[in-house]
A = this chain, B = another copy of it.
Amino acid sequence: MEDYPSKLLAAAIEQFSSLPGVGRRTAMRLALFLLKQEKEEVKRFGEAFIKLRNEIQYCEKCYNISDQQTCGICTHPGRDESIICVVEDIRDVMAVENTAQYKGLYHVLGGIISPMDGIGPSDIRIEELVERVSKGEVKEVIMALSTTMEGDTTNFYIFKRLKKFNINISAIARGVSIGDELEYTDELTLGRSLINRVPYENTLVR
């Protein structure tokens, strides 16, 4: 550990280093950068995070991040309320929204089942999803979790909880990425894309 010439500096470096992916060296660089900014700017910098943490709300319906009680997607009149896309966190909501291919609603789990990290089914919003579906207005639930062991486990658990309802449960397609060369695709993905092959005409529509 280096000896910092100032406790205030040491504290700021400490805080920056607490962020994921930020080491001591980067933290130092960032702290010195802030020192060169106007006081007013640094005040705005620090307060943005405090304000975010203190005032943020989660949509009471889908648990997407929101400035209101119910988020803009859930209240949008043009969205199809009979379809729910289940995602891990709000980044995934944004990713799906960016495709402009989806007009249903979301359900943000806030994590995935990961016994290694001590995260069980009750630590994420699965109960809330079951509750939403049980009201009878949902026709389809689309699973859109990561293709990891944790994602698969979570998918399977949710599937088990929802199968008693009379709804379609689907999962987003896995396959060779558009633009990817076949020879560099891992065999698991390639295998999956063969099993789940689609009628050729389907690939022509977008």
Contacts and interface: CB of A to CB of B under 8 A. Distances in A.
B12 A52 contact: yes
A7 interface: yes
Given A2-B98, A5-B71, A47-B46, A11 B90 contact: no
A32 B89 contact: yes
Nearest to A98: B2
A6 interface: yes
A14 interface: yes
Nearest to A94: B2
A37 interface: yes
A71 to B, nearest CB: 6
Contacts of A56: 6, 8-9, 35
A18 B66 CA distance: 23
A41 to B, nearest CB: 8
B5 A65 contact: yes
A5 B73 contact: yes
Query: Chain A interface residue count: which class?
Result: 35 or more
A49 to B, nearest CB: 5
Given A72-B5, A94-B5, A31 B52 contact: yes
28 contacts: A2-B98, A3-B94, A4-B94, A5-B64, A5-B93, A5-B94, A6-B66, A7-B67, A8-B48, A8-B52, A9-B52, A9-B56, A12-B49, A12-B51, A12-B52, A15-B45, A20-B29, A20-B30, A28-B91, A32-B91, A34-B53, A35-B65, A37-B53, A42-B52, A43-B53, A45-B50, A46-B49, A47-B50
